Structure 1
Amino acid sequence: MVFVKSVDASDIVKSPRNLFKLFDEVVTWVGPKNIVYMVTDNASNYVSAGKLLCEKYKTISWSPCAAHCLNLVLQDMGDMPHVERLKKRAFKVTVFIYNHVALIAWLRKKPGWTDIVRVGATRFATTFLSFGSLHVHKHDLQALVTSKFFVDNRLARESKAKEVVSIILNNSFWDDINVLVKISLPLIRLLRIVDSDQRPAIGYVYEGMHRARLGIKKIFRMKKHLYKPYTSIIKNRWDKHLRKDLHATAYWLNPAFQYDEENLCRKPAVYMAVLDYIGTKYDGDKEKL
């Protein structure tokens, strides 16, 4: 990884044309033949600038940030009414626990106890990471609110405590959290891959999005009316931001998936995407192609 340059653009209007000029300077300096793929922010002005660059340099591909796209998927899921309601209940549990030192002290004596990831006001993956952390602590929390230590404590007679106890002992609350944890797990796993510098991530995006959608369908036993609200969110973001021939081609070229049990490389849609990409970006002798 090499840092090329930074620009103080504070006094520049961030219009698509001005952004295009800034990007074009870098492309000219590096050399169009040395650039395969360009990633920008998902904002509309950056999207337009990226498209302008690809129109000028036919061999360069562009797409918005995959990590941002996945964050938007998780944000859309987090904004679903039933998830919002569940988040508020989970927030009440964590706030109540962490507002009372005696309760935390009791929990920290439990073998293997780790702090709960708090449900924060921030968007994206925080909500689902918090659900996962809370679910791990289900039995410890239930043990706490049914223990003699808690029941005999005057704190247990407060209205807030009674509300929290009813949430913790409600099996449907935990069932709903478990479903959302399973739904978000493949998306968060893919988010960690694309947001990491440990290995090139582009070859994993196509398969990761497919696996996420298929996993959700299996959770709901392929019942369309149950899984569609979630898969529709993924599809809308995927089609809008990341459904590129580039990602299908990178998937097809990834040795990790060429011999996979569920090999999508043989699907006609993937083949066509690879051929379209090569046909569009190839800049050599057309007869040899």
Structure 2
Amino acid sequence: MVATIGQYGPHLPIPSYHDIRVPLLKKEVEYTENLMKGHGEQWSVDGSDFVKTAEKFFELLDVIVEEVGEENVVQVVTDNGSNYVLADIGKLPLIRKTIRRAINLVGFIYAHSSTLSLLRNCTNKRELVRRAITRFATSYLTLERLHKEKANIRKMFISNEWILNKLSKEPTGKEATKVELMSSFWNSVVYTLKVMAPLVKVLRLVDGERKPAMGYIYEAMDKAKETIIKSFNNNENKYKDVFAIIDKRWNCQLHRPLHAAAHFLNPEFFYDNTDLEFDFEVTNGLFDCIKKLVPQFDVQQKILTELHLYKIGPKHFGSYFAMAQRKTHSPNDDALNWATVYWRV
């Protein structure tokens, strides 16, 4: 826009407030609608009249798959898979209660100028609320801040300023004080953070744009579960309900053949785990992808031959250049496209 204005010169007539709000806006809307017409007729679906349920999404996607041809579809990719894990875990009674109490406590503080000012004095102006890409990630970050500022928040609620504040005598103020001084609440905060922290890391990986997540999500989820197990000293009763949710979402939504194949073909993990080629869940996913992507039997055999070379790591795979970058570059980076080129050749 700025370049176009510059090309026009200093005498560009400025549109009026009315022109921008009415005729020019209508013109742009019409132009945009015309651009979308062709796409809308082929693919777009207006989903505003129905609830976004899994069954409805399946019906919509099934129509497209039938049109394209099932044999031509490698994988259906949707977002929010990792978000659903957090959402489901957030429904567990203890975690739901903890998040609700935390939100009410923070909401009360931020709803009144006097309490917010008192908080900022006690925390040296550090805030409790941090926005994230999802509601559940925001809840986690808020719990994290609460836990970090626990001593300062307690200082606030036992201070003379709070005791003399008329809000401390009101029901909402009494409830906030009660929750803040409740040891069981803070124990629940710690429990929730132990569960959610490793999973939020997976969420950040999936939703981040710094590097493609396909070759890393398999390993990331395994590491997340290992971290949760260690944080509870292998006490299965502490995390069995959480793992049931993770496994359910993993099996139906997050773990697909492409994830397994990408994990197997990621040099960062493959060459550090000598048993990976014997992990049938991973290798079955890899072979499913090969069969789907390359139906020609003779080409499949060539790929299997090249796969053997990848396993033993000779030539380019075992070169100093390649080995040095296994843990510093994503397999999708241009610097490591040698692997893809090698396969294609």
Aligned in 2, Cα 1:228/1:266: closer, same or farther, shift over 3 Å?
Answer: same
Selected match of 1:8 from 40, 45, 60: 40
Structure having the higher helix fraction is 2
Q: What are the equivalent positions in structure 2 for 1:1-289 lying under 5 Å apart?
A: 7-9=39-41, 43-49=57-63, 51-52=65-66, 53=68, 55-57=70-72, 60-65=73-78, 67-110=79-122, 112-117=124-129, 123-260=135-272, 267-284=279-296, 285=298, 286-288=300-302, 289=304
Q: Distance in 1 between matches of 2:131 and 2:102?
A: 7
**1:54–1:61 Cα contact (<8 Å) kept:** no
**2:109–2:119 Cα contact (<8 Å) kept:** no
Aligned in 2, Cα 1:250/1:79: closer, same or farther, shift over 3 Å?
Answer: same
Q: Indicate the percent of aligned positions where both proteins have the same amino acid.
A: 31
Aligned in 2, Cα 1:219/1:287: closer, same or farther, shift over 3 Å?
Answer: closer
Secondary structure of residue in 1 paired with 2:210: coil
Which segment is superposed worse, 139-148 or 222-231? 222-231
The runs of 5 or more residues in structure 1 that have no matched partner are 16-41
How far off its partner does 1:287 sit?
A: 4.2
**1:87–1:119 Cα contact (<8 Å) kept:** no
How many pairs are equivalent? 256
TM-score, length of structure 2 as denominator length: 0.64
**1:14–1:45 Cα contact (<8 Å) kept:** no
Root mean square deviation of aligned Cα: 3.3
Q: Distance in 2 between matches of 1:157 and 1:70?
A: 42
How far off its partner does 1:113 sit?
A: 3.3
How far off its partner does 1:237 sit?
A: 0.8
Q: Distance in 2 between matches of 1:152 and 1:14?
A: 56
Q: Distance in 1 between matches of 2:84 and 2:182?
A: 30
AA aligned opposite 2:286: V
Residue 27 of structure 1: aligned partner: none
AA aligned opposite 1:8: G
Secondary structure of residue in 2 paired with 1:84: helix
How far off its partner does 1:190 sit?
A: 1.7
Aligned in 2, Cα 1:128/1:287: closer, same or farther, shift over 3 Å?
Answer: closer
TM-score, length of structure 1 as denominator length: 0.75
> Which of the two has higher C-alpha Rg?
2
Residue 319 of structure 2: aligned partner: none
The runs of 5 or more residues in structure 2 that have no matched partner are 1-34, 48-55, 305-345
How far off its partner does 1:50 sit?
A: 6.4
**1:150–1:156 Cα contact (<8 Å) kept:** yes
Residue 24 of structure 1: aligned partner: none
**2:122–2:153 Cα contact (<8 Å) kept:** no
Q: Distance in 1 between matches of 2:43 and 2:291?
A: 40
Secondary structure of residue in 2 paired with 1:98: helix
Larger RCO (CA under 8 A, 6+ residues apart):
1
